[in-house]
């Protein structure tokens, strides 16, 4: 899959529509889920996911080949999410209104999911991002550190603390 | 990824976290991306066309003026 992805990027550089379609199909779930768990608004998250793939189409040369293509896409998505979050804080400060706190977009199917979803949404964004990448999308700590542009130790600590809080939320239900 | 002390809870947590993932295949999302790309391409082409049009209009507007000015200068030399 990884070599295949690199070949896709090479084809996209040559303007291949087919390769771009395959890239979207292959990675949309991870990119959209990552963004949906970082942002309060599902449609905004999907909007940024579309922009992420637009970057893959317009600037495939920014993929240097030192990480997986999925890591590269998630790193683009992370930068976009941080930008959107800063804009959201500015907007909130300007308007003086406090919107509902960050919450998962898709209505969860069970009370336990609600609890875990709330606990995840309550984590600081860096911690949440590390948890989502490592516990949901199976990135290694090293990969997550590269995506988030954070030191490895910080990411390990984010994942450990985040996971402890999620388990505590789950435990409080039991 | 597991700590080994509560494998059941870890597994349950992973299961709960993965419960509301977006669909693995979503042709509509792909179409949205492609539509966005086409809109961007159209806007770029429109901008180029408008820029060329504006430059061309400006040239048409200015060139007769230049012609008249240069004729006036030439006539002043002759006179």
Q: What interface predicted TM-score (ipTM) does this complex get?
A: 0.78
Using a CB-CB cut-off of 8 Å, the residues of chain B touching A166 are 13, 17
Per-residue pLDDT of chain B (79 residues; tens, 9 = 90+): 444 455 678 888 888 888 889 999 899 999 999 999 999 999 999 999 999 999 988 888 888 888 888 888 888 888 7
Asked if B14's CB is within 8 angstroms of A166's CB, the reply is no
Q: Please list, residue by residue across A93-119, b when 16 or more beta carbons sit within 10 angstroms of its beta carbon and e when fewer do.
A: eeeeeeeeebbbbeebeeebbbbbbbb
Q: What is the pTM of this model?
A: 0.79
As to burial, measured by CB atoms within 10 angstroms (0-12 exposed, 13-18 middle, 19+ buried), residue A121 is middle
Contact of B22 with chain A, judged by CB distance below 8 Å, is answered with yes
Contact of B59 with chain A, judged by CB distance below 8 Å, is answered with no
Using a CB-CB cut-off of 8 Å, the residues of chain B touching A170 are 9, 12-13, 16
């Amino acid at each position: 899959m990884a070599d295949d992805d690199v070949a896709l990027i090479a084809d996209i550089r040559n303007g291949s529509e087919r390769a771009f379609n395959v890239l979207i199909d292959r990675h949309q779930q991870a990119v959209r889920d990552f963004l949906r768990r970082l942002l309060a608004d599902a449609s905004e998250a999907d909007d940024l996911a579309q922009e992420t793939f637009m970057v893959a189409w317009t600037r495939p040369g920014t993929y240097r080949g030192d990480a997986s293509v999925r890591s590269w896409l998630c790193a683009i998505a992370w930068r976009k999410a941080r930008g959107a979050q800063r804009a959201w804080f500015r907007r909130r400060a300007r308007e003086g209104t406090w919107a509902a706190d960050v919450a998962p977009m898709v209505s969860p199917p069970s009370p336990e999911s609600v609890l875990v979803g709330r606990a995840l949404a309550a984590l600081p964004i860096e911690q949440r991002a590390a948890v989502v990448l490592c516990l949901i999308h199976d990135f290694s700590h090293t990969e997550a550190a590269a995506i988030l542009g954070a030191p490895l130790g910080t990411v390990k600590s984010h994942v450990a603390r985040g996971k402890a809080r999620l388990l505590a939320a789950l435990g409080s239900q039991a | 990824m597991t700590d080994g002390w509560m494998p059941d809870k870890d597994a349950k947590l992973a299961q709960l976290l993965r419960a509301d993932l977006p669909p693995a295949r979503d042709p509509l999302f792909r179409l949205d991306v492609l539509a966005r790309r086409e809109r961007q391409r159209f806007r770029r082409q429109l901008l180029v066309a408008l820029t060329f049009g504006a430059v061309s209009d400006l040239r048409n507007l200015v060139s007769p003026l230049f012609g008249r000015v240069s004729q006036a200068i030439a006539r002043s030399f002759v006179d």
